[in-house]
Amino acid sequence: MSLSGGYSWSHKNVRLVGYSMAGITTSIAMPEADVVFDVAQGLPFQMNIPNICLTHGHMDHASGVPYVIGQKSMQGQIQPNFYMPSALVQPMREMMRIWERIEDHTYQYQFVGVEAGRSYPLKSPYFFRTFPTSHRVPSVGYTVFEKRKHLKDEYKNLTRDELIELRRQGVELEEHIEDPLMSFTGDTRIEFLDGAPWVKKSKVLVTEVTFVDSAKSIENAREWGHLHLDELLPRLDSLKCEKVVLIHISARYTTKKVLEILDDKVPEHWKTKVEIFPRPI
């Protein structure tokens, strides 16, 4: 790991690179889909990626915006697209106008206000769809989907020659499937699980869990718009995910401590599925 490279985590065809620690920094890229989620700081691993999705405007998720714009401009990269909750667009434009005044330079960039439940294009075969989250400021989560073609069930037992003949007759043999590969919550209370149905079916769910022990109660976590591990555990069996990756864990806990708590609290049949995103302490 280096500051420029980020930490790396992968499961099958989902590869993630970045950092996350509550209140300090969250920025995680999915390089194969050309997208970064949140930019707490401008860091080199984000640089060749043209799509940046902001979950909300808190500084530990969004203060890297002017830096990323400046760096991409300096390197002559195409203007980046920043997707964000609609309420954030105007204040972000004002912030950029001030940075442009400070730097005496005009930048090219695009800020797009997203609506929960809508789909937006990424590099083929990927796209993303937004889902509602619940935080102290306007917020949204993002799911990366992969589009695939798949032989319809009724033709699965036919021979190759029969399929060729049907295709020759102009029969549509395949259907399009949209697989939710990875959902990313940003900061949120547990209610994000009650919104969009595809989130629970994502192959990988990357969710914030800020607090993991009794030093903070579920009520404390909820008051600050966050998720406590104790609130997630009873919901695990409602998930169809292959992996649940915990991010945004408070810096009050060392990685060793978090792993001990997970070992103690996570039900046996979820132990190999619940992981934490690599972290420095």
137-168 exposure pattern, b = at least 16 Cβ within 10 A, e = fewer: eebbbbbbbbeeeeeeeeeeeeeeeeeeeeee
Rule CB under 5 A: say whether 38 interacts with Zn ion.
no
Query: Running DSSP on this structure, what letter comes out for residue 57?
Result: -
Shortest separation between residue 110's beta carbon and Zn ion, angstroms: 24
Please tell me the distance from the alpha carbon of residue 208 to that of residue 187, in angstroms, as a whole number.
6
Please tell me the distance from the alpha carbon of residue 1 to that of residue 159, in angstroms, as a whole number.
50
Shortest separation between residue 96's beta carbon and Zn ion, angstroms: 21
Shortest separation between residue 186's beta carbon and Zn ion, angstroms: 7
Shortest separation between residue 95's beta carbon and Zn ion, angstroms: 17
79 in Cβ contact with 96 (< 8 Å): no
CB nearer to Zn ion: pick between 146 and 187: 187
Shortest separation between residue 198's beta carbon and Zn ion, angstroms: 23
Q: Point out which residues pair with 27 in neighbouring strands.
A: 19
Choosing from 6, 17, 146, 187, the residue that interacts with Zn ion (CB under 5 A) is 187
Residues numbered 77 to 136 that lie near Zn ion (CB under 5 A) are none
162 in Cβ contact with 156 (< 8 Å): no
Residues numbered 54 to 83 that lie near Zn ion (CB under 5 A) are 58, 60
Interface pattern 197-226 for Zn ion (x via CB under 5 A): ------------------------------
Site residues, Zn ion (CB under 5 A): 58, 60, 187
